[in-house]
Amino acid sequence: MQLPDELDPITFDLVRSTLESIVDDMALTIVRTAYSNVVRDNMDFSTGFCNRHGELVAQGLTIPMHLGSVPDAMAAMRAALGDELAPGDIWTMNDPYEGGMHLPDIYVVKPIFTSDERLVGYAVTIAHHTDVGGRVAGSNASDSTEIYQEGLRIPPVHLYQRGQPNRTLFRLIEKNVRVPDKVFGDLNAQIAACRLGEARFLELLAAHGERQLERYLTELLDYSERRVRQEIRAIPDGTYVFEDHIDDDGIDPDPLTIRVALTVRDDTIHADFAGTTPQVKGAINATFSVTRSMVYAAVRCVLSPDIPNNAGMFRSITISAPEASLVNPVVPASCAARGLTGFRLGDTLLGALAQAVPERVFAAGEGGNTGISIGGYDAQRNPFIYVEFICGCWGGRMTKDGIDGVTNPFSDLSNNPIEMTEAEYPLLIEAYELVPDSGGAGRQRGGMGVRKRFRFTEREAVLQVRSDRQRFRPYGLDGGQPGAAGRNLLIQNGVAQVTSSKLTTLIHAGDVFDHVQAGGGGYGDPLERDPALVAHDVREGRVSPERAREDYGVVLTPGTVEVDAAATLNERGQRAAGGIAG
Amino acid sequence: MPGSESAVVIGVDIGGTFTDLCLLGADGRVVTAKLPSTPGDYSEGVAQALAAAFAAAPDAARQQHELVHGSTIATNAVLELRGAKTALLTTAGFRDVLELRRLRMPQLYNLQWEKPAPLVPRSLRLEVHERLDARGEVIVPLDEEGVRRHADLLREQGVESVAVCLLHAYANPEHEQRVGALLRELLPGVPVSLSTEIIREAGEFERTSTAVINAYVQPVVGRYLTAIEERLTSSGGDSRLLVMQSNGAVMPAGAARQRPCYLIESGPAAGVIAAQAVARAIDCHNLVTLDMGGTTAKAALIEDGEMTFVDEYEIGAGLTIGSRLMKGDGYLLRIPAIDLAEVGAGGGSLAYVDAGGALQVGPRSVGADPGPACYGRGNSEATITDANVVLGYIGPERFAGGALQLDPALAQRALERLGRQLGMDAAAAAYAVHVVGNTRMSRAIRAVSTERGHDARDFTLLAFGGSGPLHAAQLARSLGIRRVVVPPLPGVFSALGLLCAPAGYQFVHTFRARLDRLSDAGLAAAVDDLTAQARLELRRLGYPADAVEFGYEADLRYVGQQFRVRVTLPDLAAIHPDGAVAAVRQRFEDEHERRYHHRAPQAPVELVGFHLAARVRAPAPLLDLAGVAADMSGPAAPSAATRPAYFSREEGFVAARLLRRQDLHTPVTGPALVEEPDTTIVIPPGWNARLDEQGNVVMTVEE
């Protein structure tokens, strides 16, 4: 495979690496200048760059769940605003039903022009804002039942027009969000990143000339497409069907199903979600943009990591989903907590891919991060909103254990430092630790679940939690067992109560919320796990001696953490003879 | 070396391949030695290098001397997981903070990624019942009995080193200190690293990780320093040992024993120190360094004559461009270090055509063994060094001072094969490899320059290391840099830097106060208190604490902001007593506006931390680099010899003059190649080169 004849490999490399450094520099600008902890510490944002047709040519090192959302966002913004395009414009949008994902994710896009006013590209940023109004602080509630409850809905509009700020919009935002200084601070960070992207891209343009650069930008997309097609061709043809579930939508008790039929044919992949539950009342509906994003991201996980992330990647992948379903909802479905369905889409897709390329995936991880927000007003009526996304663990892999304590790969987030949290919010974190016996048993053990315990110290606040995997545990693969279920505990006035996975409730000083996240699924038959590794896990407090015997058939010499080889052989032999697989 | 009265200063830098030595005599004369490192016992290599130097400078051996040492021993202990059996005591509920880290993964979409294994196993992470709040007030008193029980367990387990990190100890270290005292009493001979003794800063993971790394390398470093001191004693003479830190200052060996984490990744720091010395000598205030060796290239920035620092870095994170954004591949150390960016582009980096038809260079590398194809040791794939041989930049006979005979035919064959895949001849392919390698390196340079809002074009590029001078001019041009400097002794430049390093130490201290509620007296008292603590600590570490001067910086932000802006504190004594807090606020707002283009005069401002840099007052070293260069100037007239070299596809091979450094007393115009014992300086067509008074080769190009 070669580059087209007229193109020079040196220039190709230079254009490619310059674009990569532009989107990375944009991301660094956001990290440096953002106001909120969601953006700065959790790093819930993305940066990208599009060519003049609105096609993604490079994406920064950011959130995979945002990867495939840019095409829809760009199409919506170009359709709405493209006719009156002018230098100095900056666009914004957050409407899930006009190109967005959920209201907190605000897009800021700057069309880029040459000095003689010709459009040459777009700098693109997406950031999860601390609050965009609506009935629950953090604008993340999983129990809103209409989009109208979820906050300020911004269709594609000008944030700046010909260099002038859209004061009407700024005033509207100011009056509709709980923490306007943070929202404006983060919007400014997005604008600064776009401006940097603009300056760097114009330098690249000046160095190569418009026509030549365009040829290389085109080739960059073709190059990604070639590489993706080549790798898909190596995946065995077939239709791989997988189903996974969400406990409930937080309103109705019924479990929800995501079903995918993933068809690999020659150098193409089609994902069809027929058979998925219709859209729900709770706010976990994932717009089609989210669904597409997750398909791209999941497929991306089984391809070579060095393929550039751009629109060329998407060309060999098609997606269909029934209208008005959980994964392709229509107005007025609420979708603030769509991340959960996004994560479950990831689990479902990896489950299907496991049938085709079992060596490249892991058994289910924690099921996506747990979103927590605690918001209220202090004695001086100053608002506070604590937002955290608790992560996570990975399931076992064909040759490696799952990871204990790590981000979900579809949303590469960081945790909030406890010492910072306690210095800035009315909270005491009483525990943040791994949970023994939570990793699903397997030849390769699933990762351990995480526990975090919050004690609230102000007068009153609304606690809002979006969690899952309390009924449907993370699946194992190839004979591995599922990970342990998650659990929420609320202690109020000394009374402890296990709550549902999704809740919005009033809390008061002294109340404790204790969250345990699900553990990852195991990979392979646990009876095939090296007994020395099981003993090591016991020594490390990751697996109890009881579960070592029960799940793995490993017997320890009483009073020690050493394997009793004979007893283990016997135990495992009996299980094999009895046909009991763990 | 400032602060010393020693007549002779010796810098010894141990790298993975070579041990480099520079000896600065009382007369200003410099002697160098380069010998293979001795990985079994690195102190052996030090002894050999010393013997070689003393043989060349017999007077020096008899005089009082000071050995300034840069070593990878602490870094290697972490990278190879060969540190001490270490335990960690933490606040109950938080034993897994070390393992949970900050959760992020540095490699998107890679489901086969592995998180680095924690340096303390879960079974040795023990919980202490105690709790402070964020103001440092006790919520749960310390359970001393529990600590005693843990001590028994650690003794039984044969633990060799202990780290302690308790929540909010930065605000009130009493519990941590009490745990430390108990452990030291109950476990004599076992070193104890308290997190707040290293940094008094909020951030439990960062502090825990730093304390653990310190504990983990402490016994290894202690044994090593003892071995070096024994070698020094047995070599006779009156000597004193100092050690390089990652922040570019040196510390007494005694301090290094207690704070060995400061030694980690100090190797590249010495090169930057030397670069700073050169920058001062040639009166150049803004300079980018390029240190390119066999596997990686590193870049650092000298801005307004000063080095730039980062607050933390990861050991073993590999190539650190992405890791500026995405941490998680290494072990986090929260101590100030010189800001270096590293990319996987060195002489041994492999070039290949990927599945989509694009040319790739690095980060895969063949290192020194088997090495590039032209080494003839079994690798037949093209590397950057092979490309440089085909291009005529490297003369096969004089490579590595003639120690290694290269086979240009093997390089040619490797590049021909690569060229067939690219549809070009060997020379064009070699040129493409050279330029793509430059593109990789330019990312490292951009990372330290443009990322900070600087324009690389305003800088001079200072190139050293075995491969830096080969690439510097063409790389500079692609970045718009118009001046390149190659210092004398580019191959032992880091060892040279050890001679120039000041003695110093850096303290970090969280201190939270709203400026509108802080009085001038309160600010002064806080700074005085910190200074007094620092003096005490410096004395304990073996610094001449009375000869120390302090530089203060403060981190501030608007209340509600999550990030900090760092400003230099004004000299409080020099300000009218009523104006100190106002002056701090002014500086913060100026800096905020400079960086973020806005200020908020009505918004309350919060002080969140102090940084205190201690520096031992001393005269600058008498280092005559021109003398070093002069040592090499032979009497011979410039030769008329040339070698064909390739600088563009349009021109193809052209005749490049072959010169020695001293020939550049007469300015030359490229194409020319300056051959030195361990590198070649490539002067492309259009570049002018001359030797300056300090012995540097200065290359310039017109726009």
Lowest-confidence region among A127-136, A366-375, B365-374, B411-420: B365-374
Task: Judge whether residue B438 has pLDDT over 90.
Answer: yes
Give start and end residues of each alpha helix (H) in B569-624: 580-596
Q: Do A373 and A128 form a contact (C-beta atoms < 8 A)?
A: no
**What residues contact residue B420 under an 8 Å CB cut-off, 6+ apart?**
none
**What pLDDT does residue B4 have?**
47
Q: Which two tokens stand for residue A34?
A: 């953002």
B82-219: CATH topology is Dna Topoisomerase Vi A Subunit; Chain: A, domain 2 (3.40.1360)
Query: Is B271-498+628-635 assigned to CATH 3.30.420.190?
Result: yes
Domain range holding A72?
A: 9-225
For tokens 């959790």, the residue is A42
Lowest-confidence region among A473-477, B74-78, B154-158, B403-407: B403-407
Which of A28, A37, A540 is closest, CB to CB, to B122?
Answer: A540
- Evaluate whether B8-77+222-263 and B271-498+628-635 have a shared fold: yes
Q: What's B672's DSSP letter?
A: E
For tokens 């500026």, the residue is B324
A66 plus A186 within the same structural domain? yes
In a domain, A323, yes or no: no
- Mean pLDDT (chain A) is 93
Helix (H, G, I), strand (E, B) or coil at B304: coil
Greater pLDDT, A81 or B627: A81
B617-647: b (≥16 Cβ within 10 Å) or e: eeeebebbbbebbeeeeeeeeeeeeebebbb
A389 plus A469 within the same structural domain? yes
Global pTM reads 0.93
**What pLDDT does residue B2 have?**
41
A477 plus A546 within the same structural domain? no
A21 contacts in B (CB within 8 Å)? 443, 446
A519 plus A532 within the same structural domain? no
B109 contacts in A (CB within 8 Å)? 64, 297, 300-301, 303, 305, 409
Q: C-alpha A163: how far from its chain's center?
A: 34
Helix (H, G, I), strand (E, B) or coil at A466: strand
How much of chain B exceeds pLDDT 70, in percent?
A: 91
A18 plus A148 within the same structural domain? yes
Q: Do A310 and A355 form a contact (C-beta atoms < 8 A)?
A: no
Flag if A13 and B451 touch (Cβ within 8 Å): no
Most B-contacting residue of A201, A419, A428, A437 (CB-CB within 10 A), to test interface: A419
Flag if A420 and B202 touch (Cβ within 8 Å): yes
Comparing C-alpha atoms, which of B265, B276, B215 is closest to residue B496? B276
Lowest-confidence region among A134-138, B121-125, B169-173: A134-138
**What residues contact residue B93 under an 8 Å CB cut-off, 6+ apart?**
A429, A430, A431, A432, A433, A453, B127
Lowest-confidence region among A427-431, A548-552, A565-569, B399-403: B399-403
- Of the three residues A225, A240, A271, the one that is the final residue of a domain is A225
Q: Which two tokens stand for residue A242?
A: 């997988």
Lowest-confidence region among A356-365, B187-196, B448-457: B448-457
Contacting A residues, span 389-448, partner chain B, CB-CB under 8 Å: 391-392, 394, 397, 400, 403-407, 409, 412-415, 417-420, 422-423, 428-434
**What pLDDT does residue B41 have?**
85
In a domain, A48, yes or no: yes
Reported as a pLDDT band with limits 50, 70 and 90, residue B628 is low
In a domain, A268, yes or no: no
A48 plus A105 within the same structural domain? yes
pLDDT digits (tens, 9 = 90+) for B190-205: 999 999 999 999 999 9
Q: What is the mean pLDDT of residues B508-532?
A: 90
Q: What is the mean pLDDT of residues A60-89?
A: 89
Flag if A540 and B95 touch (Cβ within 8 Å): no
Q: What is the mean pLDDT of residues B79-103?
A: 95
Angstroms from A400 CA to nearest CA on chain B: 8
pLDDT digits (tens, 9 = 90+) for B662-701: 899 999 998 999 988 878 999 999 999 999 988 899 999 9
Q: Do B537 and B593 form a contact (C-beta atoms < 8 A)?
A: no
**What pLDDT does residue B453 have?**
63
Greater pLDDT, A301 or A68: A301
What's the distance, Cα to Cα, between the start and end of chain A in Å?
49
* A492 phi and psi angles, rounded to 5 deg: -130, 135
Which residue in chain A has the smallest CA separation from B557?
Answer: A35
**What pLDDT does residue B573 have?**
67
Helix (H, G, I), strand (E, B) or coil at B42: helix
- Of the three residues A197, A225, A253, the one that is the final residue of a domain is A225
Residue type, A472: F
**What pLDDT does residue B623 have?**
63
> What is the rounded CA–CA span in Å between residue B390 and residue B427?
6
Reported as a pLDDT band with limits 50, 70 and 90, residue B295 is confident
Give start and end residues of each alpha helix (H) in A157-280: 167-176, 180-208, 210-233
In a domain, A549, yes or no: yes
A477 plus A405 within the same structural domain? yes
Q: Which helix (H) or strand (E) holds A390?
A: strand A383-390
Cα atoms found within 13 Å of the Cα of residue B97, Cβ hemisphere only: 32
A415 contacts in B (CB within 8 Å)? 100, 102-103
Most confident of A411-420, B39-48, B159-168, B580-589: B159-168
Domain residue extents for chain B: 8-77+222-263, 82-219, 271-498+628-635, 504-616, 636-701
- Of the three residues A170, A198, A225, the one that is the final residue of a domain is A225
Task: Judge whether residue B175 has pLDDT over 70.
Answer: yes
Residue type, A511: D
A520 plus A532 within the same structural domain? no
* DSSP secondary structure, B182-239, as one string: HHHHHSTT--EEEHHHH-B-S-HHHHHHHHHHHHHHHHHHHHHHHHHHHHHHHT-S-E
**What pLDDT does residue B635 have?**
42
Q: What is the mean pLDDT of residues B300-314?
A: 88
**What pLDDT does residue B637 have?**
54
> What is the rounded CA–CA span in Å between residue A225 and residue A376?
49
Q: Is A36 on the interface with B (CB under 8 A)?
A: yes
Comparing C-alpha atoms, which of A488, A489, A485, A391 is closest to residue A439? A485
Beta bridge partners of A506: A462
> What is the rounded CA–CA span in Å between residue B484 and residue B446?
16
**What pLDDT does residue A114 have?**
95
pLDDT digits (tens, 9 = 90+) for A197-232: 999 999 999 989 999 999 999 999 999 999 999 999
Query: Is B8-77+222-263 assigned to CATH 1.20.1640.10?
Result: no
pLDDT digits (tens, 9 = 90+) for A565-580: 999 999 999 988 875 5
Greater pLDDT, A369 or B19: A369
pLDDT digits (tens, 9 = 90+) for A250-279: 999 999 999 999 999 999 999 999 999 999
Beta bridge partners of A495: A492
Task: Judge whether residue B443 has pLDDT over 90.
Answer: no
Task: Judge whether residue A286 has pLDDT over 50.
Answer: yes
The total domain count for chain A is: 3
* B291 phi and psi angles, rounded to 5 deg: -115, 100
Task: Judge whether residue B631 has pLDDT over 60.
Answer: no
- Mean pLDDT (chain B) is 88
**What pLDDT does residue B408 have?**
94
> What is the rounded CA–CA span in Å between residue B239 and residue B222?
18
Lowest-confidence region among A124-128, A323-327, B74-78, B434-438: B74-78
Greater pLDDT, A135 or A437: A437
Which parts of A86-132 are beta strand (E)? 90-93, 105-113, 119-128
> What is the rounded CA–CA span in Å between residue B303 and residue B373?
39
Q: Which two tokens stand for residue B226?
A: 């003892």
Q: Which two tokens stand for residue B667?
A: 């300015």
In a domain, A431, yes or no: yes
Lowest-confidence region among A48-52, B92-96, B537-541: B537-541
Q: Do B143 and B106 form a contact (C-beta atoms < 8 A)?
A: no
Strands B239-244 and B65-70: parallel
Q: What is the mean pLDDT of residues B598-615?
A: 87
Flag if A28 and B451 touch (Cβ within 8 Å): yes
**What pLDDT does residue B322 have?**
47
Comparing C-alpha atoms, which of B357, B221, B693, B366 is closest to residue A307? B357
Q: C-alpha B183: how far from its chain's center?
A: 33
Task: Judge whether residue B636 has pLDDT over 60.
Answer: no
At residue A520's C-alpha, the angle toward residues A517 and A524, to 5°, is 160
In a domain, A347, yes or no: no
In a domain, A177, yes or no: yes
Residue type, A142: S
**What residues contact residue A252 under an 8 Å CB cut-off, 6+ apart?**
A280, A281, A282
**What pLDDT does residue B580 have?**
87
| Whole-complex ipTM | 0.93
